[in-house]
Chains A and B, each alone.
Chain A
Amino acid sequence: MDLDTLLSFDWGTMTPEFIILGMIAILSVADLFMPKQVDRKVLGWAGFAGVVLALISLVSLIGTETTSILYDTFRLDSFAIAFKLILLLGAALVMLLAIDYRTKDGLEEYKGEFFYLFLTALLGTMFMASSGDLITLFVGLELLSIPSYVLAGMRKRNLKSNESAMKYVLNGGISTAITLFGMSYVFGIAGTTNLREIAQVFGGLSDPQHIYILGLAFFMIFVGLSFKLASAPFHMWAPDVYEGAPTPVTAFLSVVSKTAGFVIILRILLSIFGYIPVPQEDGQQIPLLFAVQDYIAFLAGATMIIGNVIALRQRNIKRMFAYSSIAHAGYILVALTAMSFVTFDAIWFYMLAYLLMNLGAFAVIQVITMKTGSEDISHFAGLYRRSPLLAVGMGIFILSLAGIPGTAGFIGKLNIFMGALMVDQAHYVLVSIMIATTVVSYFYYFGIMTQMFFRPAASDEKIHLPIGTLVVILVTVIGTILFGVMPNLAIDFMHSNFNQFVDFMR
């Protein structure tokens, strides 16, 4: 590749990534040379500024023509922009939480690392959103995974944190191997790693043997990637890792990393497996993606049931939210199963709503667990007396997670239901499971409510909120309510700027 070709690329499309990359370089060097006694908080704020800057540059890219550079390995289409918006917004809020995070078990000395590892993981997710090639997709995936493993074990003198990092690495390794195995079949048959070219080759497939192997490849890739979603069958790591990891990392895993998981699944599934023709008994051909719909539906159902039912028994708030996040992955899989024309809309909106409500909840959890040093749900008792703002905020997040109207979570669920019911073979069973498990979730969600509002507090000490956490809670409360009452702000924005993601494969 000579200089002319290199310069001919429209590098402007990568501005957000460059900003994050530059910030990582600056932060790591600064952390190295800064004297030990200087508070690393300033690095956190710098990192936050970097993410915000990247967000601004991304917003300025909205409306640009669909472009791809570096021989179609990096694409800037509306899908990439839409999901990068969510990833960056989530990362910005997580950074704020991380700045305020204080713990006694060995994190303080490594606080600097904490911030640039976050940014590295974020960079990985952004590449995944923009990739047009299996190689870059996989590199993005690993760029997200490896810092995440380190982050999970950041509380170095905490046994659970170490355990969580270990479990995360082992599970992650296995799942990555499975994914890669699946991808190798795809490459073997297509002879290329470029998604678009793969789609072209697969469109002309007729040998049933090939299709059979690709069916196998589909299951391997899907199962491997379900690790990132924390959905069945690769959900078992979530409770242990969520419990052991520092709270901001848990928030990151449950929101940003999960979004990235859906991004890569959508990229691979739709652009590859949506084009493989599978002959049916009646002589017609349907895409492989539709032929395996029942299996995805089964996994979605299992995920919702496992998440919501096991959450009932949890006393540890972070474990409870781990199962809750498994359940929410199941809800989004319902949208994926349906494959209606609102699937993208539904997933995007649900991710946005989920980001707001879940990060808000984790902000409150972080405040409470830092204050008491324990993660037992009983420490929420009497929160309403100690800090009405926190209690009402948490109440709103919980209502939204439970899908009560008036909150963003409800509109998200509505969108998913709509997609699942509007297709010709309506998914009545799946929708019924989703609604029934939602009612089951009332038990544990309202259990927190009971603690906060009905039970007396152990101490009357008021809770002081650090500025970053306060901002997170305010932003998420306002967002949750606003998108619940006037969802059109988000939905119209999506439709006018991303035009139904029609340029996804172009």
Chain B
Amino acid sequence: MDFNYFLTLLVFSPLLGIGLLAFMPKANESGIKMLGVLATLPSLILALIAYFSYRGGHDLANFSEKFRWIQFGGQGAEQSGMFSVNYELGIDGFGLIMVVLTAVIATLAAIASFHIKKEWKGYYMLFLLLEIGMLGVFTSQNLILFFLFFEITLIPMFFLIGKWGYYEKEKAAYSFLIYNGLGSAILLIVIMVLFSRTGTSNIEMLSVMMNTDNAPLFAPVSESLKMGLLIALLVAFGVKLPIFPLHSWMLRVHVEAPPSIVMIHSGILLKIGAFGLIRFGMGIFPEQFAELAGLLAVLGVINLLYGAFLAFIQTDFKMVLAYSSISHMGIVLIGLGALNEAGIQGAIFQVVSHGLISALLFFLVGVLYERTHTTTLANLGGMAKGMPLASGFLLAGAMASLGLPGMSGFVSEFMAFLGLFEEMPVLAAVGTIGIIMTAVYLLRAVLAITYGNAEREFAGVTDIRSFEWAPVLVLIGLIVLIGVYPAVLSEPLQATLETILMGIGG
């Protein structure tokens, strides 16, 4: 099989949908929705083909593609191979997993978007643009291309939140734009410093150049500059992840954005932060990263506890889930901070697992809101009577989230903590309080919704119906699959992990 343009097709296939949608009449609601979902399918199919052909023994290097794109600095620079930015896509095991995750969640979120009430055409066009950005982020092989796709996710999100969100949507959209704008600004400085001083922006070349003495650089990069760049990276991706003091924008987005967009946001966009930290932080600056590992672990535990305690006192289910996201991203940091195989593997597992779980939970939030028009815990209650199936799935999602064995959350938390206990047992012991708290706040919230007294009567509510089955079943299926057979993730990850560990020297 020829894989020449495979990744380009995979990344840009939603463009076809955007083109077709442009010619759809505005009022044709069901047509637009159908087309919107169909347009996400080519990427999904291609992503699955990539996954299974990899499992079938294909080398992922075959997927790489490279074309001349921009040449700065004239012919002299071109001859010496400096300052050229190529259009280069490629995937490794980690990238492959993220691409599959993105494609799956994008399709499911497109289905969840059936709940959207107005201007479906603009909505789906932006949605598909967002998907291009996300897929591009995980496949780009150089920093400038990465940044391009990274920013492409920013603009559709701004509009999707600001136009289709809830009451305080514009404020949330601005908050999103400015925080992430600052994050990307810092990221851009890092990228440009690296590019200007080394003459390349290729991630692999940078990883080699930054870690060999006497590499042919255009201008010197001192050790302290490297440390500064890594800290800047940490802040840039810390906004995205988010790390504790930089998180306030993300709460607003979780509450104000439409649930289908939060599925994407919490499921994938936050994970770009983790992806970037692992890919660039660990990949390009392994020595400096090792020095900062302790700090990361501490930040992780703070995130975990802070999120968990605040989630416990929230009165709105969306806020509970938002803080829960912060808390769970703490586990990613803990895993990275541990800096050993179990820890890093746990962190990556957590990225995938939380992506699936939060997508499921926010889908159910959408289902709930569609019927009850509230997400306040005090107003909900007794839902198990009217919609037993949805309540059951909600409970299942919560179980996965709190790390019930047999589901994906358990594997990732277990590994991340296993890693940390090896390195920093005291810190890890403190962190376990967070695990207990997770169970407490999730059960409190879920039980308040499903059982308890119904303050209002939701007499006519219907249970999960028609199209709503697909996302729920697929997500639960994947969560359980990873829980009982983690090899679906760990095998593709093996090579990536080995490269990372070799760089760190552990």
Contact = CB atoms under 8 A, between A and B. Distances in A.
A426 B151 contact: no
Interface stretch (A33-41, A51-59, A413-421): A413-421
Contacts of B154: 404
A499 B195 CA distance: 23
Contacts of B70: 411, 487-488, 491
B151 A404 contact: yes
Dominant SS at the B interface? Answer: helix
A454 B189 contact: no
A219 interface: no
B126 to A, nearest CB: 10
B12 to A, nearest CB: 12
A154 B74 CA distance: 44
Contacts of A453: 159, 162-163
Interface residues of A, number: 43
Contacts of B384: none
Contacts of B464: none
Contacts of B192: 414, 417-418, 421, 431
Contacts of B196: 417-422, 426
Contacts of A424: 219
Contacts of B218: 422
A364 to B, nearest CB: 18
Contacts of A406: 148, 151-152
Contacts of A454: 162-163, 170
A113 interface: no
B378 interface: no
Given A421-B193, A436-B185, A405 B74 contact: no
Interface stretch (B3-11, B176-184, B266-274, B348-356): B176-184
A243 B186 CA distance: 35
A165 B273 CA distance: 52
Nearest to A344: B74
B257 to A, nearest CB: 14
A492 interface: yes
Nearest to B151: A405
A216 interface: no
B74 A495 contact: yes
Interface string B136-155: 00000000100111111011
Listed residue (A422, A432, A436) with the most chain B CB atoms within 10 angstroms of its CB: A422
Interface string A418-457: 1111111010100110011011001100100110011000
Given A439-B181, A443-B178, A415 B72 contact: yes
A395 to B, nearest CB: 9
A345 B74 CA distance: 9
A446 to B, nearest CB: 6
Contacts of B186: 435
Contacts of B163: 453-454
Interface string A441-476: 011001001100110000000000000000000000
A442 B177 contact: yes
Nearest to A411: B70
A414 B144 contact: yes
A341 interface: yes
B229 to A, nearest CB: 11
Contacts of A419: 196
B185 A422 contact: no
A454 B74 CA distance: 43
Contacts of A300: none
Query: Which bucket holds chain B's interface residue count?
Result: 35 or more
B145 to A, nearest CB: 9
A492 B144 contact: no
Contacts of B76: 500
A413 to B, nearest CB: 9
B170 A450 contact: yes
Contact of B72 (A423, A431, A491): A491
Interface in B222-272: none
Nearest to A342: B73
B147 A405 contact: yes
Residue with the greatest number of chain A CB neighbours at <10 A, chosen from B144, B174, B188, B195: B188
A494 to B, nearest CB: 8
A342 B195 CA distance: 14
A479 B270 CA distance: 33
A504 to B, nearest CB: 14
B212 interface: no
B153 to A, nearest CB: 11
Interface in B112-158: 144, 147-152, 154-155, 158
B189 A431 contact: yes
B323 interface: no
B69 interface: yes
A486 B148 CA distance: 13
A305 interface: no
B219 A422 contact: yes
B152 A405 contact: yes
A399 interface: yes
Given A417-B192, A450-B170, A500 B74 contact: yes
A260 to B, nearest CB: 25
B226 to A, nearest CB: 14
Contacts of B72: 342, 345, 415, 418, 491
A384 to B, nearest CB: 8
B71 interface: yes
Contacts of A423: 219
Contacts of A449: 158-159
B68 interface: yes
Nearest to B181: A439
Contact of A341 (B69, B73, B193, B219): B73
Interface in A384-417: 399, 404-406, 410-411, 414-415, 417
Contacts of B150: 405
Select the residue from B151, B174, B181 with max chain A CB neighbours within 10 A.
B181
Given A406-B148, A435-B189, A446 B197 contact: no
Interface in A209-265: none
Nearest 5 A/B pairs, CB to CB: A421-B196, A405-B148, A422-B196, A417-B192, A435-B185
8 contacts: A342-B73, A405-B147, A406-B148, A421-B192, A421-B196, A438-B185, A446-B158, A500-B76
Interface of A: 341-342, 345, 399, 404-406, 410-411, 414-415, 417-424, 426, 428, 431-432, 435-436, 438-439, 442-443, 446, 449-450, 453-454, 486-488, 491-492, 495-496, 499-500
Given A405-B147, A421-B192, A435-B186, 8 more contacts: A345-B72, A404-B155, A411-B70, A417-B188, A418-B195, A420-B196, A495-B75, A500-B76
